[in-house]
Structure 1
Amino acid sequence: MEELSWVTVPTPLPTGPMRFAVTPVGVAAASYAGESVAGLHAGAPECTEARVVDLVENRIRGYFEGRRRELELPIDWRLTTGPHRTVLGRLWSDVGWGKTITYGELAALSGVFEEVSEPGAAARTVGQMMGANPLALLVPCHRVVAAAGIGGFGGGPRGMETKRWLLTLEGVLPPTLDWDGPTG
């Protein structure tokens, strides 16, 4: 990927800082805790373009401080194609702050699984797609939940803590006594 660089932003998440792969088009990928993103060279340099770094840092900081409900960062969709791109696009455009959607509902909303007749197959596929979302947080896979619970999230126990933290920040889940998010 030409002209790829990374912006690392501290976060209050249980997974720590996030990394955002930026290109001249926009953010091409985001990862929690330095996780690798398929199709990207992890050794790309940190971004030195002050305008880009400031934009990403300020939008992400505003979100985690509870001052911003939409990140409004330009997205470079090049790491998504076909049905995966369609599903992520619907999630990005239709499921805003404080809302959730089930895996099955997102499958139906996307329209890409109309030929699938096996019960649960489309929902399971959407779950796999969420696990392969290269644009974590920007395309809010944390808002996709199971029909009977919170569902899964990559990264094992820390990943589930992160999903709970994000859903608490957005008001979907009530804060626990030990939650360390913004209070206002």
Structure 2
Amino acid sequence: MFNAVIDAPFGKVGIRTADGAVREIVYLPESTHSVDPDCALAERAIAQIERYFASAQADFDLPLAPRGTAFQRSVWDGICAIEAGEVLTYGALAKRIGSISARAVGQACGSNPFPIVIPCHRVVSASGIGGFAHHGGDGFFRDVKRWLLTHEGVTLR
């Protein structure tokens, strides 16, 4: 169950909360039924995500549940340092955070439980857009990544 499901320009966004923190943000297909927020935190998350949809420069200040391994958290912290409208390759992010493995960075990006808030869409392959949310190839998730990057003014070669 989601605490809220809202319309997004690319489908829907589902939000799960618990114990005073956002537990997960999920991209969902347009066919998913909307769910009105059932708590103040879900309302706050919706307001901030909708503000991002209106302006890619919007900031987030949501309480996020502690998730992931120490390495994943270091990758997610590195992602948060990438400004809207900028991208880094998996390899460049790996170097920035002191890792030797672009592949491990890519896996951590795909495991991000808070997309949009932790903007993993800003990390791309050296040869193009890369995968998204552990989904390779074209389809819904890569279309979401394309929309997010375009929304931020990024043009990939």
Asked whether the equivalents of residues 89 and 125 of structure 2 are also in contact (C-alpha less than 8 Å), the reply is: yes
User: What is the CA-CA distance between 1:136 and the residue it aligns to?
Assistant: 1.4
Q: Which residue of 2 aligns with 1:129?
A: 108
Q: Is 1:9–1:60's contact at 8 Å kept on the other side of the alignment?
A: no
The corresponding residue for 2:32 is none
Q: Would the alpha carbon gap of residues 67 and 126 (structure 1) be closer, same or farther in structure 2, given more than 3 Å must change? A: closer
Partner of 2:71: 83
Alignment-mate amino acid for residue 31 of structure 1: V
| Matching residue within 14, 22, 25 for 1:19 | 14
- Check 1:129–1:63 CA distance in 2 against 1; reply closer, same or farther (3 A cut): same
Q: Which residue of 1 aligns with 2:146?
A: 164
Closer, same or farther: CA 158–81 of 1 in aligned 2, 3 Å? same
Q: Per the alignment, in what secondary structure is the counterpart of residue 58 of structure 1? A: helix
Q: Which has the higher strand share?
A: 2
Contact 2:21 2:63 in 1 (8 A): yes
> What residue identity is the alignment partner of 2:3?
W
User: Hey, what's the Cα distance between the residues in 2 that align with 1:110 and 1:25?
Assistant: 29
How many residue pairs end up in the alignment?
A: 148
Tell me the amino acid that sits aligned with residue 29 of structure 1. E
Shift of 1:10: 1.4
The runs of 5 or more residues in structure 1 that have no matched partner are 35-44, 117-121, 175-184
| 1:43-82 correspondence runs (5 A) | 48-49=38-39, 51-66=40-55, 68-76=57-65, 78-82=66-70
Show the 5 A alignment for 1:89-108.
Answer: 89-92=77-80, 94-108=81-95
What one-letter code is carried by the residue in structure 2 that aligns with 1:6? N
Report the equivalent of 1:173: 155
Q: Which has the larger radius of gyration?
A: 1
**Root mean square deviation of aligned Cα:** 2.4
Secondary structure of 1:162's counterpart equals: helix
Paired with 1:58 and 1:29, the residues of 2 have a C-alpha distance of 16
In structure 2, C-alpha distance between the alignment counterparts of 1:28 and 1:108, rounded to whole Å: 29
What SS class does the counterpart of residue 60 from structure 2 fall into? coil
**How far, CA to CA, are the matches of 1:67 and 1:91 in structure 2?**
15
User: TM-score scaled by structure 2?
Assistant: 0.82
Shift of 1:140: 0.7
1:134 partner SS: coil
SS at match of 1:159: helix
Q: Secondary structure at the match of 1:29?
A: strand
Where do 5+ consecutive residues of structure 2 fail to align?
30-34
